[in-house]
């Protein structure tokens, strides 16, 4: 879009080249800064404790060992239990998959209604639902804890799924609504004249067009729910905790010697699913982020 | 049947709407109500006025939390915006490796703040982390022990927060830079206006809406930051890095002081509203015009 940094006629070609080099140097330095923690996590997780104590933070492991990974996955202690991250990893999967699916389906239906079946008050209803995205969740923690107790799902995975669905609908509705408003209303009108009903139109006209927004929404919801800590720590109990809570417990567990290599391996395991999503579908991830930021 | 056909859209929307009424507005109401009672371990519904808020604002720990929110918020938002803008402008200079660099700058946003906190906690620990590394290079007197220093620990939260969020701001700004009308820029270049002037006088002012949304997202993140503090410092040393979010959590789940938890949550909501409501209002008005 813009040209190389502006150079008045008096500036020499050499200066121009120097500026260019400077630019690349800066960009590289920042890239290293962003990569440093990941690099340190990976190398630390492959070292023995002995090597961590004697070597430098950014040194490559002299002897690569997967011991820390094995411990992090199946032996590290989260408080009194020492089963590693494995059970909690599956908790997060069991929690994220249904929560993502349910909130995406509800969002699709809601967005379809708000964008294409406007009725009096639909906009106000949408605005009121959207508002739920903005509240600091601290303000609902206490009553939600009591409600989960009353519903008899306190400290269970279904309870956490319920919470994530409830507070995810605002976003998923927004995503689908913003996508469906770009589809001409004439399409719905014509289909209505042909006698197609609400669900028929959704199923045969809108759903086939929805793949990109479904991908964006699923990635957004999955990242949010997998990475969530506040709901996880507030509404789970020993045995039903999601992976972020277990990771925090492993890192802050006070029993035994501080095993930094295990901490790092555990952190990478907790990060892998969302990192994988980012690497595979980065484009959609960014689209969700920017859509989520220009709410409304 | 006719009736059903006509009302299907409303019926589809109804459960979500009722859920929002109940679990957002109803719950806010509940918390607001309880914040005006003497509730301790169990909620008590007798209104007694603003006693919880008086206790809150008399608490030194809350004062620290609010101060930290201010320090953290200003630095986190300011540095992330500046760095994001700088990186976006750099990347906008026809950089050959742009795709790779963008991926690298943005990946922290895919991580959980607990992972980010864990990684930085390890790197910042003075005994074996960055401090030890630089000392190993021969700078024996080098100290970088902010994470264990009550006066400096909050800045480590800023470092980790900026690391996580600045790439995202970069992505927002880069999209903004690319959407500026190319014709105007060409005209300016033909007129011989220097590049830095083109940025400061034409491009950046035209991105005002993006600054605003970046600001909103970052301030929202800052007010809600809970995970990062928990993973990085646990609120410590002492309660030196407490934020309103960690204060609220401590009151609700470890101190058993529901009244304090409710009133601190309400103050957090007011702060969010003070920032978000004017923004939402202007957005909705712009749409209706």
Q: Are residues A44 and A121 in the same domain?
A: no
- Which domain range does residue A273 map to? 86-291
Residue A95 forms part of a structural domain? yes
Lowest mean pLDDT among A89-93, A271-275, A284-288, B5-9: A284-288
Residue A243 forms part of a structural domain? yes
Nearest in space to A125 (alpha carbons), one of A136, A116, A114: A114
Q: Are residues A175 and A198 in the same domain?
A: yes
CATH of the domain at A159: 1.10.3720.10
Say yes or no to pLDDT of A5 above 60: no
Residue A3 forms part of a structural domain? no
Residues of A in contact with B227 (CB under 8 A): 229-230, 244
Interface of B with A in 179-238 (CB under 8 A): 180, 182, 185, 189, 194-196, 198-199, 203, 213-214, 216-217, 220, 223-224, 226-227, 230-231, 234
Q: Are residues A38 and A131 in the same domain?
A: no
Q: Are residues A143 and A28 in the same domain?
A: no
Of B20, B128, B220, the CB nearest to A132: B20
Q: Are residues A40 and A113 in the same domain?
A: no
Nearest in space to B235 (alpha carbons), one of B174, B159, B175, B153: B153
A to B CB pairs, distance under 8 Å? 274
B120 at the A interface (CB within 8 A)?
A: yes
- Report yes or no: B119 and A41 within 8 Å, Cβ to Cβ: yes
> Number of H helices and number of E strands within chain B?
15, 0
Q: What is the pLDDT of residues A37-77, one digit of tens each?
A: 999 999 999 988 888 888 888 888 888 888 888 888 887 77
Residue A79 forms part of a structural domain? no
Higher pLDDT, A251 or A12: A251
pLDDT band, very low/low/confident/very high, at A11 (cuts 50, 70, 90): low
Residue pLDDT tens, chain B, 289 long: 678 778 888 888 999 999 999 999 999 999 999 999 888 888 888 888 888 899 999 999 999 999 999 999 999 999 999 999 999 999 988 888 888 999 999 899 899 999 999 999 999 988 888 887 888 888 888 888 888 888 888 999 999 999 999 998 998 888 888 888 778 888 888 888 888 888 888 888 888 878 887 888 888 788 778 999 999 988 878 888 999 999 999 999 888 889 999 999 999 999 988 887 787 777 667 655 4
- pLDDT value of position A10: 56
Q: Are residues A90 and A70 in the same domain?
A: no
| Mean pLDDT value of segment A215-223 | 91
Tell me the pLDDT of chain A averaged across its residues: 86
Q: Are residues A158 and A253 in the same domain?
A: yes
Q: How far is residue B279's CA from residue A127's CA, in Å, rounded to a whole number?
A: 13
B266 at the A interface (CB within 8 A)?
A: yes
What residues contact B122, with CB distance under 8 A and at least 6 apart?
A: A40, A41, A44, A260, A263, A264, B128, B129
Of B111, B130, B224, the CB nearest to A136: B224
- pLDDT value of position A293: 56
- pLDDT value of position A28: 93
- pLDDT value of position A296: 33
Q: How many domains does chain A contain in total? A: 2
Q: What is the CATH topology of the domain spanning B59-288?
A: MetI-like fold (1.10.3720)
Domain final position from A74, A107, A126: A74
Say yes or no to pLDDT of A170 above 70: yes
The verdict on a CB contact (< 8 Å) between B122 and A117 is: no
- Report yes or no: B88 and A30 within 8 Å, Cβ to Cβ: no
Q: How far is residue B260's CA from residue B262's CA, in Å, rounded to a whole number?
A: 5
The verdict on a CB contact (< 8 Å) between A229 and B180 is: no
Q: Which tokens is B110 given?
A: 């895919």
The verdict on a CB contact (< 8 Å) between B283 and A296 is: yes
In angstroms, the Cα distances linking B166 to A197, B225, B242 are 47, 15, 23
Q: Are residues A104 and A53 in the same domain?
A: no
B87 at the A interface (CB within 8 A)?
A: yes
What residues contact A131, with CB distance under 8 A and at least 6 apart?
A: A170, B24, B280
pLDDT band, very low/low/confident/very high, at A9 (cuts 50, 70, 90): low
Q: Which tokens is B88 given?
A: 């976006």
How long, in residues, is chain B? Answer: 289
- pLDDT value of position B48: 87
- pLDDT value of position A6: 52
The verdict on a CB contact (< 8 Å) between B16 and A173 is: yes
Q: What residues does each domain of chain B span?
A: 59-288
Residue A80 forms part of a structural domain? no
Distance from CA of A109 to the nearest CA of B (A): 7
Three-state DSSP at A78 gives: strand
Say if residue B237 is preceded by a cis peptide, omega within 30 of 0: yes
Residue A139 forms part of a structural domain? yes
- pLDDT value of position A7: 47
- pLDDT value of position B3: 80
Give the pTM: 0.89
| Mean pLDDT value of segment A219-230 | 92
CA within 13 Å, CB half, B50: 7
Residue A4 forms part of a structural domain? no
**pLDDT more than 90, % of chain A:** 43
Of B9, B136, B178, the CB nearest to A56: B136
Residues of B in contact with A40 (CB under 8 A): 119, 122-123
Q: How far is residue A31's CA from residue A35's CA, in Å, rounded to a whole number?
A: 6
If you ran DSSP here, which 8-state letter would residue B180 be given? S
Q: Which tokens is B79 given?
A: 């540095």
Closest residue in chain A to residue B126, using alpha carbons only: A57
Say yes or no to pLDDT of A2 above 70: no
Residue A1 forms part of a structural domain? no
pLDDT band, very low/low/confident/very high, at A227 (cuts 50, 70, 90): very high
Q: Are residues A59 and A111 in the same domain?
A: no
The verdict on a CB contact (< 8 Å) between A134 and B276 is: yes
What residues contact A211, with CB distance under 8 A and at least 6 apart?
A: none
- pLDDT value of position A1: 46
- pLDDT value of position B286: 64
B132 at the A interface (CB within 8 A)?
A: yes
B156 at the A interface (CB within 8 A)?
A: no
- pLDDT value of position B115: 94
pLDDT band, very low/low/confident/very high, at A89 (cuts 50, 70, 90): very high
The ipTM is 0.87
Higher pLDDT, A31 or A75: A31
């Amino acid at each position: 879009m813009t040209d190389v940094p502006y150079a008045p006629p008096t500036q020499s070609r050499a200066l121009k080249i120097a500026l260019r080099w400077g630019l690349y140097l800066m960009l590289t330095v920042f890239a290293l800064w962003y990569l440093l923690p990941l690099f340190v996590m990976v190398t630390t997780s492959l070292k023995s404790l002995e090597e961590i104590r004697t070597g430098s933070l950014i040194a490559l492991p002299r002897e690569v060992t997967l011991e820390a990974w094995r411990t992090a996955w199946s032996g590290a202690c989260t408080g009194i239990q020492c089963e590693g991250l494995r059970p909690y990893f599956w908790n997060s999967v069991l929690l994220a998959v249904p929560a993502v699916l349910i909130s995406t389906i509800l969002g699709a239906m809601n967005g379809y209604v708000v964008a294409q079946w406007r009725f009096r008050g639909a906009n106000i209803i949408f605005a009121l639902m959207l508002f739920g995205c903005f509240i600091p969740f601290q303000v609902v923690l206490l009553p939600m804890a009591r409600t989960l107790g009353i519903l008899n799902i306190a400290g269970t995975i279904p309870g956490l799924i319920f919470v994530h669905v409830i507070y995810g609908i605002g976003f998923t509705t927004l995503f689908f609504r913003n996508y469906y408003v770009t589809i001409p209303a004439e399409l719905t009108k014509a289909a209505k004249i042909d006698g197609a009903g609400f669900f028929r139109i959704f199923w045969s006209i809108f759903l086939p067009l929805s793949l990109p927004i479904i991908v964006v929404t699923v990635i957004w919801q999955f990242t949010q729910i997998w990475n969530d800590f506040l709901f996880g720590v507030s509404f789970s109990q020993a045995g039903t905790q999601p992976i972020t809570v277990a990771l925090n417990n492993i890192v802050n567990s006070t029993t035994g010697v501080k095993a930094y290599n295990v901490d790092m391996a555990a952190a990478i395991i907790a990060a892998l699913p969302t990192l994988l999503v980012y690497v595979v579908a980065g484009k959609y991830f960014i689209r969700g982020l920017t859509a989520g930021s220009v709410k409304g | 049947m006719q009736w059903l056909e006509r009302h299907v859209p409303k019926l589809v929307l109804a459960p979500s709407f009722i859920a929002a009424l109940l679990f957002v507005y109803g719950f806010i109401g509940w918390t607001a109500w309880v914040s005006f009672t003497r509730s301790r371990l169990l909620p008590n519904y007798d209104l007694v006025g603003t006693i919880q808020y008086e206790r809150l604002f008399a608490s030194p720990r809350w004062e620290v939390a609010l101060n930290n929110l201010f320090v953290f918020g200003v630095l986190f938002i300011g540095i992330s915006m500046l760095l994001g803008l700088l990186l976006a402008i750099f990347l906008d200079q026809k950089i050959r490796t742009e795709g790779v660099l963008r991926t690298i700058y943005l990946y922290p946003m895919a991580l959980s703040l607990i992972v980010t906190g864990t990684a930085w906690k390890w790197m910042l620990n003075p005994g074996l982390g960055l401090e030890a590394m630089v000392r190993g290079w021969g700078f024996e007197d080098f100290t970088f022990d902010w994470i264990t220093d009550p006066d400096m620990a909050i800045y480590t939260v800023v470092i980790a927060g900026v690391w996580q969020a600045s790439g995202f701001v970069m992505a927002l700004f880069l999209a903004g830079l690319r959407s500026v009308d190319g014709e105007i820029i060409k005209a300016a270049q033909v007129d011989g206006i220097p590049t830095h002037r083109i940025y400061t006088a034409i491009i950046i002012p035209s991105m005002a809406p993006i600054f605003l949304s970046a600001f909103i997202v970052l301030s929202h993140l800052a007010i809600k930051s809970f995970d990062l503090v928990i993973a990085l410092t646990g609120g410590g040393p002492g309660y030196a890095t407490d934020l309103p979010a960690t204060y609220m959590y401590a009151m609700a789940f470890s101190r058993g002081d529901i009244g304090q938890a409710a009133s601190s949550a309400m103050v957090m909501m007011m702060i969010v509203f003070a920032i978000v409501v004017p923004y939402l209002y202007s957005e909705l008005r712009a749409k209706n015009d």
